[in-house]
Amino acid sequence: MGCSDLDLLQRHIEAVWGVHLPPLAVGDVEVTASGGATPWMLYLARTDAGEVRAWRDVPAAARAELVERGRRALPPVGENPGEGVVGEVVFRRPCPLPALEGAAKRLGEADRPALEVFEPGESAYWLDPRRAPLFGVVEAGRLVSVAHSSRRTAAACELGINTQVETRRRGFARACVLAWTRAVLEEGLEPLYSADRTNAPSLALARACGYRAFARAARVGETTSAPS
């Protein structure tokens, strides 16, 4: 399967929040000032290797309460985490990769008009090289689903997938995700998929594409969303 769970978790955190971490290990890890800022105080994750707790500027006396809050919110059946706590599931790529299905195609500059119709005013975002690889499905003459790299580092790409509501559950998103996954691997990078624990459609899509959950996590003390 390639990378260990801890390696993949580190790639996920670094990609989504644009930080640099020391090598993750079971137990406590400190996010130093030189590593970058995070919107959360504690990132608590459980993997098969054990529990990881990544801290950002939290004094020792305050940690036990944050750990308890995080543990109570861990997916899949955690309690309502309350304000400032977000549960998420992180997936590793399928192995082996399922066969490509559907008519997902790689999108580029020629597709700018279709992207403008898909999400008005956002074509520049979609065509930014940092969003590559970019794949979409066209149905009845219009773009109905788009997969892209919502975050990209030198080691990994984090999936972003958008599908028009009225065209969901018809296999379009799955076709885009699988095409994106294959293209990321062809670049020599690791494709990663994550979703908030309350996002049932996204969690179901990950599993339908053959992605396997390897970490269940809670972000505690979160004040803002991931950087754009």
Task: Write a three-state SS string for the chain.
Answer: CCCCHHHHHHHHHHHHHCCCCCCCCCEEEECCHHHCCCCCCEEEEEECCEEEEEECCCCHHHHHHHHHHHHHCCCCCCCCCCCCEEEEEEEECCCCCCCCCCCCEECCHHHHHHHHHHCCCCHHHHHCHHHCCCEEEEECCEEEEEEEEEEECCCEEEEEEEECHHHCCCCHHHHHHHHHHHHHHHCCCEEEEEEECCCHHHHHHHHHCCCEEEEEEEEECCCCCCCC
Residue extent(s) of CATH 3.40.630.30 domains in the chain: 105-210
pLDDT at 113: 96
pLDDT at 78: 59
pLDDT at 228: 44
**What pLDDT tens digit does each residue of the chain (228 aa) get?**
468 999 999 999 999 998 888 899 999 998 876 667 788 999 999 999 999 999 988 999 999 999 999 998 887 765 666 788 999 999 999 988 888 767 899 999 999 999 999 999 999 999 999 999 999 999 989 999 999 999 999 999 999 999 998 888 888 999 999 999 999 999 999 999 999 988 999 999 999 999 999 999 999 998 765 544
pLDDT at 31: 86
pLDDT at 211: 96
Write down the architecture of domain 105-210 according to CATH: 3-Layer(aba) Sandwich (3.40)
